[in-house]
């Protein structure tokens, strides 16, 4: 097999391994060992591209490799989550700015559709898991609309620190109403092609989450509960 054929396969396995481990992390409360052979069997591929994927993923902090003992998958710590939010504030500001310049009306409608099921329901009656998934998808869409491949790579590489889906961060921090209102305001700014406003709203959105999370852990709680 020549290199032009091998590269896509290697990349595909890398993405599959990253997705699989990211999914496993959503339920983690303590470190677990991940066996190369088990991953290969689950994905129906040989161990070699899985090994290469794990080596690449170690550089992102997703796993820690231990010679002869496989890979160690650990839950995100409070400190790592804070660092991710600090980085997200800048990334999302840039992404929203670019999205306002690039998004079509169809793109805007797709963003609105993510939150349509939650508009008429009181915050306490919303499906927290469904809203959390809509939230994750929304931010992924904003990254994609920036049309910046390097940005997408950074988001894909380090997005495992955004464990919002299982941690239910929005629900536990009582940011349900704020989150929905802020998302809709960002969509409005993107639709109006107001790049400056979209950037500011995106940064304020993440900064608000960061401030709430810091207050939460300073109260003596732990992100394990999120």
For the chain, the structural domain boundaries read 3-73, 78-225
Closest CA to 90 of 168, 203, 204: 203
For the cut 90, the answer to whether the pLDDT of residue 120 exceeds it is no
From the list 38, 47, 39, 49, the residue with the least C-alpha distance to 14 is 49
| Tokens, residue 105 | 């009306």
Which of 123, 85, 216 shows the shortest CA–CA distance to 131?
A: 123
CATH architecture of 78-225: Up-down Bundle (1.20)
Phi, psi of 142 (to 5 degrees): -60, -40
Per-residue pLDDT reduced to its tens digit, 186-223: 999 999 999 999 999 999 999 998 998 888 888 765 44
C-alpha gyration radius of the chain: 19
pLDDT, tens digit, for every residue of 100-118? 999 999 999 999 999 999 9
User: 89 pLDDT band (50/70/90 cuts)?
Assistant: very high
Here the tokens at position 4 are 């032009």
Q: Indicate the pTM of the whole model.
A: 0.75
User: In angstroms, rounded to a whole number, what is the distance separating the alpha carbons of residues 206 and 152?
Assistant: 18
Could you give the angle at which helices 105-115 and 176-191 cross, rounded to 10 degrees? 170
Answer yes or no: are the C-beta atoms of 161 and 80 closer than 8 Å.
yes
* Angle (deg, nearest 10), helices 78-102 and 149-158: 160
The reply to whether 3-73 and 78-225 are identical in fold is: no
Helix (H, G, I), strand (E, B) or coil at 177: helix
Please give the CATH topology (third level) of the domain spanning 3-73. Answer: Arc Repressor Mutant, subunit A (1.10.10)
């Amino acid at each position: 097999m020549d290199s032009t054929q091998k590269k896509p396969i290697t990349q595909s396995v890398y993405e599959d391994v990253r997705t699989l481990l990211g999914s496993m992390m959503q339920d983690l409360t303590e470190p677990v060992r991940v066996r190369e052979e088990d991953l290969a069997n689950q994905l129906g591929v040989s161990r070699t591209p899985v090994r290469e994927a794990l080596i690449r993923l170690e550089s992102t902090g997703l796993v820690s490799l231990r010679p002869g003992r496989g890979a160690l998958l650990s839950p995100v710590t409070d400190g790592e989550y804070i660092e991710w939010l600090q980085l997200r504030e800048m990334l999302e500001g840039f992404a929203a700015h670019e999205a306002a310049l690039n998004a079509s009306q169809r793109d805007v409608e797709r963003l609105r559709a993510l939150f349509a099921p939650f508009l008429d329901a009181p915050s306490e009656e919303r499906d927290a898991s469904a809203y959390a998934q809509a939230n994750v998808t929304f931010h992924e869409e904003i990254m994609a609309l920036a049309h910046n491949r390097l940005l997408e790579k950074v988001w894909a590489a380090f997005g495992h620190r955004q464990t919002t889906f299982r941690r239910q961060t929005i629900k536990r921090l009582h940011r349900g109403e704020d989150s929905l209102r802020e998302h809709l305001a960002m969509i409005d700014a993107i639709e109006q092609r107001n790049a400056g406003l979209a950037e500011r709203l995106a940064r304020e959105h993440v900064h608000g989450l960061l401030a709430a999370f810091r207050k939460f852990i300073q109260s003596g709680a732990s992100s394990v509960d999120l």
